[in-house]
Each structure stands twice: as structure tokens, then as C-alpha cells.
Amino acid sequence: MIVVTGASRGLGRAICDRLIQKNIDVFGLARNVDGVPFPAVSCDVSSYESVKAVAQQLKKDGVKVTGLINAAGIASMNLAVITPQSVSQKIINTNLLGTIYCCQLIAPLIIRNKHGVIINFSTIAVALGLKGESIYAASKAGVEGFTRSFAREMADFNVRVNCIAPGPIDTSLLKGITAEQIHKIVSQQIIPKQFAPDSVADLVELLIDSRSDSLSGQVLHVGGV
């Protein structure tokens, strides 16, 4: 069973759909799981207690957890000096602390199997230093740093930890961003095109497969930087 956060929509949903197509059991976490057609529970990853409750229930139920994909995330394009404190806090709590909490509380379930995979999510905004995304980039830079160190901590337990950093992917996360802004970002990628969620799902599929057993502690950029 692979636990996927942000499973109700966007990249998280696309990843779940792909894994299910490959006959891999998934367990979704999202704030709202109404209508989700696979096993899922409501969970706010920015709340340690919320994630802890899920982890405890999985352990109690004897679920064999083999992987964790931290796809939950939020973004807000704005200059740092005019971003409300509440927005900054929400971005950090969800993107960075949410990833840390899920790794802290669900990784022990993976360790019990003596092997497994964890995939975190960053953004190309970190590498490119995109204007108007400084707080979002800060939260994801934290995820990248955490991933590198956590990968070393998990290596002794045969658990690989990697990070995917996409460019602008066609999901609801881009709501409010103009086509001109998207084009400007995409043009800075090595492969200057906007990718679909399926391209990210392809990479996830590779990272959870034994073919990538030589990769850990890496940040992989969709589109290239």
C-alpha cells in the first residue's frame, strides 16, 4: 500500500489513478475526500495530530505500507513584502511541515517492511528563483533540504527518498496564473514546454520501481533546469 497525500485532485489524484492502473494499492489523504473512488480519509497534513491519527490507524489495522508520496501542496504568487502573514504561514505549514510530519509519522510503518520508497515534491521555482514565488520557493527549498538529509537517515532501513520538482503542470494549482506568466517560466526550462500530470506520474512510477534502486536523495526536475 502506498500512501498519497493531496490525493483528491491535481497531481496527487493523477498519481493515484496511475498507480491503480498498475494494480498498486493506494491510500489517499486529503482535506476533502468526498467522491474519491479509492480508499481515502480526510487529513490536514499541516496538522501533526491529524497525520498522527492516520498513522496510528494504519498501524492498528495492520496495513503494510510500502511507500509515501507527499503530493499535497499549495501555492500563492505574490511579492513577499505584500504577502499576508497568514498566507505565508499556511504555505510553510502545508508544504514544508506537512511533508515533514508525514515522513516522521508514516516512515516508521515503511521501515517495518525493511524496504520502501518516499517521494516528496518541490518546484522548479526553487532552482530558477522565480519572481513572485519567494515564499512558495522557500517552503519547497526546505523540502529539498529535508529530502537530502532524510534520505541518508532512511538508507540504513533500505528506504529510498527522492524529490520531484516540476515546472508549471496543468492542474488547479495554476489557477490565477496567466498564460503569459506560464510561458515565461516554461521558456526557462531546458525542455521549454508545459507538461501534463501524466508526465509526473511517469516519473513517480519509475521512482517506486526497482529499476531506480540506485537513486536516493535526488531532486529531479520535470522540464530540466
- The pLDDT tens digits of the residues spanning 87-144 come to 999 999 999 999 999 999 999 999 999 999 999 999 999 999 999 899 999 999 999 9
Which pLDDT value is given to residue 94? Answer: 98
Query: Residue 55: pLDDT above 90?
Result: yes
CA-closest candidate to residue 173, choices 78, 72, 94: 72
Q: What is the DSSP string of 19-74?
A: HHHTT--EEEEES--TT-SSSEEE--TT-HHHHHHHHHHHHHTT----EEEE----
pLDDT the model gives residue 175: 64
- Biggest CA-to-CA distance, the chain: 50
Domain that holds residue 110: 2-222
Average pLDDT over residues 39-48: 98
Predicted local confidence at residue 104, as pLDDT: 98
Length of the chain: 225
CB contact at 8 A, 121 and 164: yes
Residue type for position 35? G
Sort strands 26-30 and 40-42 into parallel, antiparallel or unpaired: parallel
Which pLDDT score, from 0 to 100, does residue 173 have? 64
Mean pLDDT of the chain: 94
Is residue 77 predicted with pLDDT exceeding 90?
Answer: no
> How confident is the model at residue 91, as a pLDDT?
97
Q: Which of 142, 187, 192, 194 is nearest to 171 (CA)?
A: 194
Q: Tens digit of pLDDT for each residue in 166-215?
A: 988 876 666 667 788 888 888 888 999 888 899 999 999 999 999 999 99
Crossing angle of helices 48-60 and 98-111, in 10° steps, is: 20
* C-alpha dist (Å) from residue 150 to 94, 145, 199, 203: 18, 8, 25, 20
Inter-residue contact 174 to 158 (CB < 8 Å): no
What are residue 68's DSSP bridge partners? 3, 118
Q: How many domains in the chain? A: 1
Fill in the amino acid letter for 94.
Answer: T
Q: What percent of the chain has pLDDT over 90?
A: 83
**How many angstroms from the chain centroid is the CA of residue 210?**
20
Q: What is the CATH number of the domain that holds 65?
A: 3.40.50.720
C-alpha cell belonging to residue 194: 508545459
